[in-house]
Amino acid sequence: MIIATNVTKKFGKLTALNDINTTCNKGQSISLIGPNGSGKTTFIKCLLGMVVPDSGFITFNKQNISHDWKYREQIGYMPQIGRYPDNMSIAQILVMMKDIRKKTSADLDEELIEAFELNKIMDKRMRTLSGGTRQKVSAALAFLFNPEVLILDEPTAGLDPLASEILKDKIRKVKKEGKLILITSHVLSDLDDIISEIMYMQDGQLVFHKTWELLKKDTGEEKLSRAIANVMKSKL
């Protein structure tokens, strides 16, 4: 579904991405993991079309994304920190996004709006919301337009345990529906039971992209945090 071929990106003397080659298929929940400065954010921005590679290319459903911006309509993105107009209410944010995307109610997935009980606080203005509630709004918007691909950046950060489990249940559900989910997170304990594959990046390079089951076998660890710690030690 998404294929990166020889993707390289430099910022001055810094090589943020160094000849990245990988394939991300439908029906997978893939964790993008690596230390700070490993290139994860740059790679995500390339997928979103926010950063253009210096060389190489990315295809989405066999189409080069540099030739067709419309592929972005099939991506739901949840940023690590959602930034919204302070004076707008939750309801106004949702209406604005629906107008921009030009989707009818029949096309929408509003399950998280109800599960997070955002429908009960629609008149609340964004400036009055806690960080966790803003995260709920970001999550609801990511899933709202029923995208084929979800890119979730630190999705459980700031969420209480109940909200975190609601979001993880939603991720499991859409994975079973055949969607592709890419997740970045430093809270690796949240990912043990929802991911199927791991992409590990370091110093702008893709060190490996393998199934969670294979990583367990390779490291002898059953917890993702311990497996990745094992990998990082071996790279020192």
Q: In 3D, which of 77, 223, 72 has the Cα closest to residue 150?
A: 77
What mean pLDDT do residues 1-24 have?
Answer: 96
* pLDDT band of 56, cuts 50, 70, 90: very high
pLDDT score of 36: 87
β partners of residue 59: 3, 64
**Strand order of the sheet with strand 180-184?**
75-78, 149-153, 180-184, 29-33, 197-202, 205-211
- Tell me what percent of the residues of the chain surpass a pLDDT of 70: 97
Tokens 């107008």, residue located: 99
CATH number reported for the structural domain that contains residue 51 in this entry: 3.40.50.300
What mean pLDDT do residues 198-216 have?
Answer: 95
Phi-psi region of 59 (alpha: psi -120 to 50; beta: other; left: phi over 0): beta
* Domain boundaries, position 176: 2-235
pLDDT at 66 over 80: yes
The answer to whether residues 137 and 81 touch, using CB atoms and an 8 Å cutoff, is no
How many structural domains compose the chain? 1
Sign of the C-alpha dihedral computed for residues 81, 86, 91 and 96 taken in this order? negative
pLDDT score of 68: 82
What would the pLDDT profile of 28-55 be if each residue is shown by its tens digit? 999 999 988 899 999 999 999 999 999 9
**CA dist., res. 166 & res. 150, Å (int):** 16
57 φ, ψ (degrees, to nearest 5): -155, 165
The answer to whether residues 80 and 151 touch, using CB atoms and an 8 Å cutoff, is no
pTM: 0.93
Q: Residue 26 is encoded by which pair of tokens? A: 């439908």
